[in-house]
Amino acid sequence: MDPARVAQVVPAIEAALAGLEGLPVDADELAGCAADYIEELDGLTDEMAADFADLSPEQRRLVTNHEALGYLADAFDLEVIGTVIPSTSTLAEPNARELDELAATMESAGVTRIYGEVTGANEVAEALAERIGNAEVVSLYTESLGPDDSDAVTYIDMMRTNAALISET
């Protein structure tokens, strides 16, 4: 969820691919593709920083389905103030007391959006939004890319889409 971190691993991926036999490109073409992708990722980082630049302090506070947006928050000066599922695993389950505490945290922080997932179940997030009354659930791409007809066909598309959805607040 941090394009700058992804850019850091591109050379390792390039090196691993260069060691494979039978690729349809030679080492120079592969190096060029890697360099181009790093440049795209650097541009994406700048684009996302610009998208988030005008967010107010309240808008920089995120409530998410689970810890999927931690790297995004760290990279772009956002803050995850709570998660619906209290774990990095989507298999964990929240309890009523934790959800009440999260609702109170959201209300006191002025947070009216819960970032769920396109690929996951958002029922608990929807119930939390309903409990608060003036909150909505916005689904992001966090676990995988989207289908061919989506706005998240590639990693770059996915991150642009997520940044646009978060900055629409």
State if pTM tops 0.85.
yes
Range of the domain at 45: 3-52
Give the DSSP H/E element, type plus range, for residue 122.
none
What's the distance, Cα to Cα, between the start and end of the chain in Å? 19
What is the C-alpha separation between 123 and 102, in angstroms, rounded?
15
> Is the domain of 84 the same as that of 156?
yes
> Is the domain of 12 the same as that of 34?
yes
pLDDT in tens, 120-169: 778 888 988 988 888 999 999 987 888 899 999 999 999 999 999 999 86
What is the C-alpha separation between 82 and 141, in angstroms, rounded?
18
What is the C-alpha separation between 94 and 84, in angstroms, rounded?
7
Bridge-partner residues for 83, per DSSP? 64
> Is the domain of 23 the same as that of 61?
no
